[in-house]
Amino acid sequence: MADTFKKKLLGWLPYALGVLLVVQFAGLGVWQIERGMGKLAQRREFAEEKGFAAWSDGMPVRSFQKLEVTGRLDTEHQILLENIIIEDRLGYYVLTPLVVSDGAPVLLVNRGWIERTAAGFDPASIAAEPGRVTLHGRAGSLPRAGYRMGDAFKPGEAWPQTAVYPTLDEVSAALGRDVQPFVLLLDPDDPHGFFRYWEPAEMGPGRHFAYALQWFAMGAVLTFLLVRNFRKRGLT
């Protein structure tokens, strides 16, 4: 009797595992759809944002909000974000602190992309005009990598320093002062930067929907195989 029960239990085990996988595939498909819908909403917000709001320290901002900020660019402590590829060319994003007022956290300004060349880097190429300036851009964030090996900054490096996908906390530690919780992505029409073409996300919503279709297809195929095998074996 015990052997019969054990045999039936083992016979049902592959089906239980198969159903569990189908549920997981469906959940992953729904998750990808949700991410795709989120990306669509981001792109809609990006496209519909009109006008530049005057920003001051402590003012809350939303993603991709267009902002007008005034301060002094600290060109003595600039950061070159490495491993940024634009149109199959390797280069840097130029990150420049903007001092908005004494005692306030600095606002990091992504001034755009410059190409890395074999001739080496000339710090004079990222100089900015002295004094207070008014900049326009969008509220954004630092670029992120799925995985990073080692430290973001090289210890003991002179300014401008290079960094590999740093966090805001790591940038703050390198600068020795607090930073604002967002990055200003300098507007393409602003004269104080370099090559700029900002988008809400690196991976568009279409990719997420394609992944969702793959997960649903895998679940459907597995369901078909489970049902066919169940009918063939005639388990009850």
pLDDT at residue number 109: 94
Residues 6+ apart with CB under 8 A from 193: 94, 111, 112, 186
CB 57 within 8 A of CB 101: yes
pLDDT at residue number 42: 65
Alpha-carbon distance 172 to 162, whole Å? 14
pLDDT at residue number 67: 92
pLDDT along the chain (236 residues), means of 10: 57 71 81 75 66 84 88 90 83 91 91 81 77 89 72 80 88 91 91 79 67 81 76 63
pLDDT at residue number 136: 92
pTM over 0.85: no
DSSP one-letter code for 153: B
Pairing assessment for the beta strands 106-115 and 89-99 based on DSSP bridges = antiparallel
Among 160, 182, 230, 234, smallest CA distance to 18 is for 230
Burial 203-235 (b: 16+ CB within 10 A, else e): eebeebbebbeebbebbeeebeebeeeeeeeee
pLDDT at residue number 204: 64
pLDDT at residue number 131: 83
pLDDT at residue number 49: 65
Alpha-carbon distance 40 to 128, whole Å? 36
